[in-house]
Amino acid sequence: MRFMVTRLRHQVTLGVAVGFAVISTLFGLLILNVIGQSTEATAAERLKLAQTTAASIDASISHALAQLVEFAGLEAVRQATSGRARADALDQAYRLLGTYDEVAVLDARGRQVWAHPASGRAAASLRNQPVVRTALDSGAPSVALVELAAVEHPPVVAVAVPLASGGGPAGVVLGTIHFAHGWRAPLVPLPPGSATFATAVVDGRGRILVTTSAQQAMDGPGQAEPVTVDPHAPIIRTMFETQRPGVGAHGEGAEEHLVAFAPLGRLPIGVVVEERQDLALAVPNRLRRMLLLFGLVALIATSVAAWLHARYVTRPLEHLAQAMRRIPAGALDEPVLVSRRDEIGAVARSFETMRVQLARAMTERDRWERELEARVRERTDEVRRLLAKIIDAQEGERHRLARELHDDTAQTVATLLMHLAALRGMLPPGQEAIAGVLDRMSAQGVRALGEIRRVIADLRPTALDDLGLIPALREFAEARLATASVDLSFQVRGEPRRLHRPVEAALFRILQEAVSNVAKHAAARIGTVEIEFAPTRLVATVRDDGRGFEVCPGPDRPRGGVGLEGMRERADLIHARLEIASRPGAGTSIRVEIPYEE
């Protein structure tokens, strides 16, 4: 029962814990959804920053192109290819261009006519680039990202605008914008960076053109910076291939970064916004850790509270179980003390009422049992007295018959034998026939006298009164079986003791009848008599190896002959248990078991 109560306590605790776990899981899923949305919002914010910056750079390039187109439309610039323009007029017009690092005017053959600054070499080195030839051939402005001859110098933006004449393009105006310088100008309006956050302009190979993580102002246009490759170039190149904006993670551990990319529309470059992922997602990660810690603490606290509550609920059940265990042992005096006002208290009070009623019923039962035992003892005493009278009457009748047989019949037969002997002596010689008849009559009389004396001994053996059951039964068995040529095996186990006189007489008669049946009906070679004095009962067995007979089992079995019927009646009188076991050809066994009486 305690095992069941303990299991109930655990089930209550587990049920509450599981319920809380389910609720916490649902709440956690909601929080994780919020965290996921926060993470997506953070990534979307970085992507939006990259797209805004890319759009701003596209707008700056468009503005720079418009400026150069306006510059190319000036009369002084159109006359430069014919050699009629004055240098001071071109320098004055150049002041309108605030975005370009270098500007040059080339004729139709690509020869430099004018350049500002005069010492600039970038424009002159780009005269053979496809951007110039495209502008001359198409007659339309052209914009391209061009590699300079200097290996360590990053690519520059080249803008070529054709100069119109009556017969076709007379030349081009070529302007260059260095990203490394242009970050101070409106061309590359990158947001400010930090040690963990950076915005960069990169090309398709992942090379950094300009970045906020290394904002180093150059002393003048045309000065080169080392070309470096972004550490997240693999994921950037993948995004370049699709030419679509996107966000991804790259790196491992503390070096894992959140990378947002947005391509430009006019040039094969893009804007990359990089930030350490643990810092970019600091708020979602902190929420995730807080959720885990809160869930663990709440689960432990709920489990402890559930266990305490289950203990509070199940402790009265334990007291009730203890009281229920006392009842089978008969301990009904101790009351059931459960002072609860709920259903458990109602069960306990009902159980206490049942205990009181059961105790009252058991007390009444005990009283009736005592009265019944007293009546049984009285009836038993009466039965014993009646049994003693019956047996005494039987034994008295047997004694009277034995005495009459001894005094009357035996004496008469003895007298008859004496007269026959006297008559035999009075016969004259020659009366042999009469003498033979007298001799046969004398022999029959002797046999009759012996039979009468045996009957007298059977009716009242003197050894039973004088020596007890064992000597009387041994003497009878030896004498009775000897007449039938049956070998006797007589065994006694245990310490012999005398029984009550009526019981001992009835038992002797039962065993006497069993031995007589062996001698008269069994046709046995060996007869066995066993007497066992057990601690609480006497067990007597008579067996033989004779012909046996069929015993019908069940309450409707035939009662048998007079001898077996008499044995059963005597066994019933002394409350003995009589068992008869026999089978044709397998002998017979008669067992009598009788408890000792105090």
Listed range (86-90, 520-524, 536-540) with the worst mean pLDDT: 86-90
One fold for 1-326 and 467-598: no
Taking the C-alpha atoms of residue 326 and residue 316, their distance in angstroms, rounded to an integer, is 15
User: Of 170-179, 274-283, 502-511, where does the model show the most confidence?
Assistant: 502-511
- pLDDT beyond 90 at 592: yes
Mean pLDDT calculated for residue range 32-57: 80
Domain residues of the chain, as ranges?
1-326, 467-598
Query: Residue 3: pLDDT band by 50, 70, 90 thresholds?
Result: very low
Instruction: Give the CATH class of 1-326.
Output: alpha beta
Average pLDDT rounded to a whole number, residues 580-594:
90
Angle between helices 343-404 and 562-573 (to 10 degrees): 130
Dihedrals phi, psi of 156, to nearest 5 degrees: -125, 165
**Residue environment code for 426-446, b if the CB has 16+ CB neighbours within 10 A, otherwise e:** eeeeeeeeeeeebeeebeebe
| Alpha helix segments (H runs only) across 327-409 | 343-404
pLDDT digits (tens, 9 = 90+) for 98-147: 677 788 888 777 777 778 776 656 566 777 788 888 888 888 888 888 87
pLDDT at 220 over 70: no
Per-residue model confidence (pLDDT) at position 593:
93
At residue 193 the predicted structure's pLDDT band, cuts being 50, 70 and 90, is low
In the predicted structure, residue 16 carries a pLDDT above the cut 50:
yes
Query: Quick one: pLDDT band at residue 538, thresholds 50, 70, 90?
Result: very high
Would you state the pLDDT for residue 528?
Answer: 92
Using pLDDT thresholds of 50, 70 and 90, give the confidence band for residue 280: low
- Residues 451-470 have pLDDT tens digits of 777 777 666 666 676 778 88
Confidence of residue 530 (pLDDT cuts 50, 70, 90): very high
Mean pLDDT of 169-185: 69
| CATH code, residues 467-598 | 3.30.565.10
Supply the pLDDT for residue 189.
57
pLDDT at 313 over 80: no
* Region 153-165 average pLDDT: 80
Closest to 492 (Cα-Cα) out of 529, 518, 463: 529
| Alpha carbon distance 464, 502 (integer Å) | 11
pTM beyond cutoff 0.75? no
Q: What is the pLDDT of residues 202-211, one digit of tens each?
A: 887 777 777 7
**Mean pLDDT comparison of 154-163, 268-277, 581-590, highest-scoring range:** 581-590
